């Protein structure tokens, strides 16, 4: 995507956009024709979101 995302607002916006994209991919799948590669793609997207959450954690206060 682009460079570093520093503000919490932009970080949250990034995550929201990634979840929307993930939902669109899943909704667009057909159970009768879905492949293992498509499932692997979904897993990769989830892992990418997890990685970003871990990166963004340093900018969010802990409770």
45 within a domain of the structure (yes/no): yes
State the total domains in the chain: 1
Q: How far is CA 28 from the centre of its chain?
A: 16
**Separation CA 26–CA 60 (nearest Å):** 29
3 within a domain of the structure (yes/no): no
Residue-wise over 24-53: b if at least 16 C-beta within 10 A, else e? Answer: eeeeeeeeeeeeeeeeeeeeebeeebeebe
1 within a domain of the structure (yes/no): no
31 within a domain of the structure (yes/no): yes
Provide the residue range defining the domain that includes 14. 8-59
The band of 50, judged by pLDDT with boundaries at 50, 70 and 90, is: very high
27 within a domain of the structure (yes/no): yes
13 within a domain of the structure (yes/no): yes
Token pair listed for 27? 């909704």
16 within a domain of the structure (yes/no): yes
Q: pTM for this one?
A: 0.83
* pLDDT, tens digit, 9 for 90 and up, residues 19-49: 999 999 999 999 999 999 999 999 999 999 9
25 within a domain of the structure (yes/no): yes
């Amino acid at each position: 995507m682009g460079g570093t995302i520093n503000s919490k607002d932009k970080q949250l916006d990034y995550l929201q956009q990634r979840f929307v994209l993930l939902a669109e991919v899943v909704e667009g799948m057909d159970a009768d024709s879905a492949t293992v590669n498509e499932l692997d793609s979904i897993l990769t997207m989830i892992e990418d979101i997890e990685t970003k959450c871990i990166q963004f954690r340093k900018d969010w206060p802990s409770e």
